[in-house]
Structures are given as structure tokens and as C-alpha cells.
Amino acid sequence: MGKKDLKLRILNDSTNSINTASKLILNGDAVAVMAETVYGLAVDASNKSAIKNLYSLKKRPKNNPLIIHVESINMALEVGKENEDFLILAGTFWPGPLTIILPQKKNSSISKEATAGLKSVALRMPKSKVFLRLIKKVGKPLAAPSANLSGYISATDSKHVQECFKNNIKLILDSGRCEYGLESTVINLTKKPYIIERMGVINKEEIFKKTKIITIEKNQKKKKIVSPGQLFKHYAPKKPLRLNAKYPKIDESFLAFGSNFADSKYCLNLSKKSNLKEAAYNLFYYLRKLDNLEKKKIAVSPIPMRGLGKTINERLRRASFEWR
Ligand code: TXA
Ligand code: MG
């Protein structure tokens, strides 16, 4: 391997760069690519050694399975067992930020390292154009966790991916900032009642309204957890978080919400208009910025518990030191 190969390339997404990315992936490398949710680090889901490298790159516990990204319902059904509600959910929300867990087919091409040896498989067809083009070009499902070191704040911009992995990866397809800034919703269809294993962009009310399918949001405090990723402290800055803070203390920077707070060096406002979609878009982006300031802690305004606010609060709780 020449020295040139050891250097990270950051390329705008284009037909050429997607071709390059596809070649790297078919060669067993990981490529960072923008999803509509957060950046993903994509590898060939059938390549055992590529998956193993990915886990070590991310320092990810081996028992935490990956989401398999597909470009169509047909591609999903090559690895997952069909079920009527899957067809309704995928037909309604795909391409989009809904990950669906199905029982895995016996002859599935997915490496067992990617699903942590589980009999199920988590599938998602992203809405991000560059991601879809990449899967089509590779012609196979791609395993792609969020492109951050395990436990740290997810990457919503290519420069975050670069900060995390530096020259340990070869290519980032740079498409700017992610549309939502929060991960996909993960729903488990392997048994009833259907459980939402991870809250995300789409909530149970929206699922019910559009499909009449009933789901249950898992109580994060209960012990029985199916999605192993939900066991860990997550999305966390290096600095301690103090939630539901009215004002910051002297040694704290401030992640604000609502019209009362102007932006300043130590205060970033998620949404002055109290718009939760805007707040989600800024959440991880601003947490990273505040994490890099010289203040000891980060105080966070209360965020309303409605719509996307529920997911934002869940992420903040998991990121705070209250979570054990
Ligand atoms: O928005 C997203 O979902 C992003 C983009 C890149 O698509 N991906 C993402 O992947 O957030 P990751 O690896 O950070 O989170 C995957 C979650 C984890 O909580 C994991 O435990 C759960 O999905 N998961 C994956 N496969 C599973 C399975 N077979 N059963 C239960 N949970 C599973
Ligand atoms: Mg993640």
C-alpha cells in the first residue's frame, strides 16, 4: 500500500466519486456517506472482514448489530422474511427514516458479524439520494452505522466524520449537513406487540395515522432490551450535561431553546422559534460545538415533550450523566 492510500479523501458527491466509493466498498473498505438522518459509515454487508474492521474503527461493542441499507423493498426481501405489515410500513415510509427489524432468511447474504449473530435483521431504505445511488452502484446491501466513535455524538456533517476518523478511513462523500440530524426510528416486527426499539424521526402517532399499525414505545428504563444499541450511554459529549436548566451557571455553556435566548459565544439556540424540527437539525451539531468550548459543563434548556421533542429528550437523557 502506497502512502497515498493512507490519506483520507473528501469528495463532493458526483457520479465519479460514487464510482470511487463503490470500488472501495467492493474492495472491503468503509466509506462515509450522508443519510437524511446522520452520516453513515458504509461497508459491504456480506464482507466479514470489512464488518470486523468497521467495528474496530468505531470501537463498537460486537454485540451491537448494524442496520442494513437497501435500495428497494425487493432487496430487503432477499435477506428478510416478508410479512404483510412490513409491506405496509415500507410502502408508506420508504425511502425514509424508518428501520424495520424482520426475521432473517436462512440463505441471507448478510455476514453474521453485521447482525451480531441475531436471527433478525434491521433493514432500511434511506431517502438520501447519494446513499441510494451508492447502494445501487455497489449492487448489494450496505451495513452502515452512524459515522461516529461508539458512544459519542452522531455526525451530522462531513467535518464531524473527519474529526472522528481522520486518516483511518479513505473516503468521505461530502453532501453537506443532514436533513433531519437525528437517527431513524427502529421498529421490531419479529413479534407482537410491535416495539419501537429506538425513537427517531417518525413517531408511533405518525405510524398509526398513516398505516393503522399499532406500536409501543419501549420504556427505556425497563431491563428487557432487544436493540443492543439501546443498552449503552450514547450520543454523549465529553462534557457532562445538565438537563432542564433555566439558565447556565458560570462554568457552563448553554444549549438553549425558545425566544428568550440570543446566540453568543457560550450559548447556541436550537430554535428561537421553538420549532422542534429545527431543534433536531441543530441538536448534535451544536452539542459538538459546545463540547469543544473551554467551559466545564453544558446546560440544556427544557425541550417540550411533543412530536420530535420526545426523541430529542430521549437523546439528551441518554447523553447526560443521569443515564446508567
Ligand atoms: O439513521 C440511521 O439509522 C443511521 C443512518 C446511517 O442510517 N444509522 C444508525 O445506525 O443510526 P447505528 O448503528 O448507529 O444504530 C443502529 C441501531 C442500534 O441501536 C442497534 O442496536 C439497532 O439499530 N439494531 C440493528 N440491528 C438490530 C437487530 N437485528 N435487532 C435489534 N436492534 C437492532
Ligand atoms: Mg449510532
* pLDDT tens for each residue of 159-168: 999 999 999 9
Q: Which residues line ligand 1 (CB under 6 A)?
A: 35, 37-38, 40, 64-67, 97, 99, 101, 115, 118, 120-122, 124, 126, 144-146, 183-184, 186, 197-198, 226-230
Please check the confidence at residue 108 and state whether its pLDDT lies above 90.
yes
Looking from the CA of residue 41, the nearest atom of ligand 1 is 6
Distance 65 CA to ligand 1 centre (A): 7
47-60 per-position pLDDT tens digit: 999 999 999 999 99
273-295 per-position pLDDT tens digit: 999 999 999 999 999 999 999 99
Residue from 37, 86, 99, 315 to probe ligand 1 pocket by mutation (most atoms less than 8 Å from CB): 99
Please check the confidence at residue 323 and state whether its pLDDT lies above 50.
no
Q: Given its phi and psi angles, is residue 274 left (phi above 0), alpha (psi -120 to 50 degrees) or beta?
A: left
Distance 3 CA to ligand 2 centre (A): 31
Distance 177 CA to ligand 1 centre (A): 20
| Cα–Cα separations (whole angstroms), residue 19 to 5, 230, 252 | 17, 34, 46
DSSP state of 126: -
20-49 per-position pLDDT tens digit: 999 999 999 999 999 999 999 999 999 999
pLDDT-based confidence at residue 324 (cuts at 50, 70, 90): very low
Give which of 123, 162, 112, 131 is closest to 40, Cα–Cα.
131
Please, which residues bridge with residue 216 across strands? Answer: 195
156-208 per-position pLDDT tens digit: 999 999 999 999 999 999 999 999 999 999 999 999 999 999 999 999 999 99
DSSP state of 239: S
Distance 2 CA to ligand 2 centre (A): 32
**Cell numbers that stand for 58 in this block:** 468505531
Residue from 59, 60, 113, 183 to probe ligand 1 pocket by mutation (most atoms less than 8 Å from CB): 183
Q: What is the CA radius of gyration of the chain?
A: 19
Task: Report the pLDDT averaged over residues 51-75.
Answer: 97
pLDDT at residue 134 in the model: 98
Distance 155 CA to ligand 2 centre (A): 9
